[in-house]
């Protein structure tokens, strides 16, 4: 009898919990949003769709281990080998960041053309999905693959909103986010000013690209000189470490402290140089 009463009480409690959770307090499913790590966002911005964050981390560990073994076999100095192992670990992420910056600069040049094509298509009477599909053949070469995937997904599913979300993930660009959201609002609420909005956006993008190109040209030689100044001491260190007379000095406590101090100074100086000379970047606030 006691067991039956406990079972009934348990069932009553579960029923009340389910009723309470089925009302306004029920968990809402996530629609269209996905949690993406910073490393994966960097890979998306670089256009490396075939590589994920775990693979990038494995590549970093592998390259760091390779640098450790090669330098250790070459010099026989553990401290110097660890220094270059750190460089090997950081190198893939630095290269991915450079690819992301280069892709962002390339896209900055072609976005006005994309917006002009959309405005022309809308003026010609095409629907928004048809205008986006047309970019898979008429758009810039660098952007044709994402729009081709959008065209394939839209033909197979017919869900415009979901295909726009996927298109934003493929583009991985702040300007692309703004264009996609503009088209989404125009699709949902309608409006006769879409063509004028797109033409205004195209003019703004051209002016921004022109001004940024001038600034990057003036800034480029300073950045390259600073990178050379940071890399030169470590190249000299690698050359000195091949001489037997200097091996014992770098394996000592004082030599280790010197390497650590030099590494910290170079890292701080390089990051400070990048922060001082960095141009403002668009942030993806409409992901």
Number of Cβ within 10 Å of residue 256's Cβ equals: 16
Instruction: Check whether 241 has a pLDDT greater than 80.
Output: no
Higher pLDDT among residues 180 and 14, named by residue? 180
pLDDT category of residue 204 using cuts at 50, 70 and 90: confident
CA distance linking residue 209 with residue 215, whole number of Å:
10
Q: Which two tokens stand for residue 255?
A: 């030599």
% of the chain at pLDDT higher than 90: 0
pLDDT category of residue 108 using cuts at 50, 70 and 90: confident
Lowest mean pLDDT among 130-139, 148-157, 237-246: 237-246
Lowest mean pLDDT among 22-26, 68-72, 190-194: 22-26
Instruction: Check whether 34 has a pLDDT greater than 50.
Output: no
pLDDT category of residue 182 using cuts at 50, 70 and 90: confident
Q: What is the pLDDT of residue 247?
A: 65
CA distance linking residue 60 with residue 64, whole number of Å:
6
What's the Cα-to-Cα distance from 25 to each of 12, 19, 28, 32, rounded to whole Å?
19, 10, 9, 21
CA distance linking residue 72 with residue 80, whole number of Å:
8
Higher pLDDT among residues 46 and 16, named by residue? 46
Q: What is the pLDDT of residue 80?
A: 78
First to last CA, the chain: 58
CA distance linking residue 237 with residue 247, whole number of Å:
11
Higher pLDDT among residues 233 and 280, named by residue? 233
Sign of CA pseudo-dihedral 134, 114, 51, 284: negative
pLDDT category of residue 105 using cuts at 50, 70 and 90: confident
What's the Cα-to-Cα distance from 163 to each of 103, 153, 268, rounded to whole Å?
23, 6, 43
Q: What is the pLDDT of residue 51?
A: 79
Nearest to 248 by CA among 71, 65, 80: 80
Instruction: Check whether 257 has a pLDDT greater than 60.
Output: yes
Instruction: Check whether 39 has a pLDDT greater than 70.
Output: yes
DSSP structural state of residue 142: G
Are 177 and 286 spatial neighbours (Cβ–Cβ below 8 Å)?
yes
The chain-wide mean pLDDT, for the chain, equals: 77
Average pLDDT over residues 234-251: 71
Q: Give pLDDT tens digits for 153-172.
A: 888 888 888 888 888 888 87
Work out the angle at residue 91's Cα, subtended by the Cα atoms of residues 225 and 55, and round it to the nearest 5 degrees.
155
Nearest to 115 by CA among 194, 225, 50, 191: 194
Number of Cβ within 10 Å of residue 286's Cβ equals: 14
Q: What is the pLDDT of residue 15?
A: 60
CA distance linking residue 93 with residue 220, whole number of Å:
20
Average pLDDT over residues 9-18: 61
């Amino acid at each position: 009898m006691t067991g039956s009463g406990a079972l009934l009480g348990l069932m009553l409690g579960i029923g009340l919990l389910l009723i309470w959770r089925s009302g306004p307090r029920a968990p809402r499913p996530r629609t269209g949003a996905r949690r993406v790590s910073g490393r994966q966002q960097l890979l998306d911005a670089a256009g490396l769709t075939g590589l994920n964050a775990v693979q990038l981390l494995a590549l970093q560990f592998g390259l760091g281990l390779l640098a450790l073994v090669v330098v250790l076999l070459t010099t026989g100095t553990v401290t110097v080998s660890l220094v270059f192992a750190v460089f090997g670990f950081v190198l893939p992420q630095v290269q991915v960041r450079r690819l992301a910056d280069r892709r962002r600069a390339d896209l900055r040049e072609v976005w006005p053309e994309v917006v002009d094509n959309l405005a022309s298509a809308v003026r010609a009477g095409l629907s928004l999905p048809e205008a986006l599909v047309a970019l898979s053949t008429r758009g810039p070469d660098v952007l044709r693959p994402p729009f081709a995937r959008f065209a394939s997904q839209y033909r197979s599913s017919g869900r415009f909103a979901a295909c726009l979300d996927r298109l934003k993930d493929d583009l991985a660009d702040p300007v692309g986010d703004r264009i996609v959201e503009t088209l989404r609002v125009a699709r949902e609420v309608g409006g006769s000013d879409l063509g004028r909005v797109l033409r205004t956006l195209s003019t703004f993008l051209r002016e921004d690209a022109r001004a940024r190109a001038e600034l990057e040209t003036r800034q480029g030689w300073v950045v390259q000189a600073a990178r050379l100044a940071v890399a030169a001491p470590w190249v000299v260190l690698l050359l000195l470490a091949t001489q037997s007379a200097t091996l014992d000095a770098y394996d000592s406590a004082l030599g280790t402290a010197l390497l650590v101090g030099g590494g910290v100074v170079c890292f701080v100086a390089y990051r400070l140089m990048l922060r001082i000379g960095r141009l403002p970047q668009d942030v993806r606030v409409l992901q």
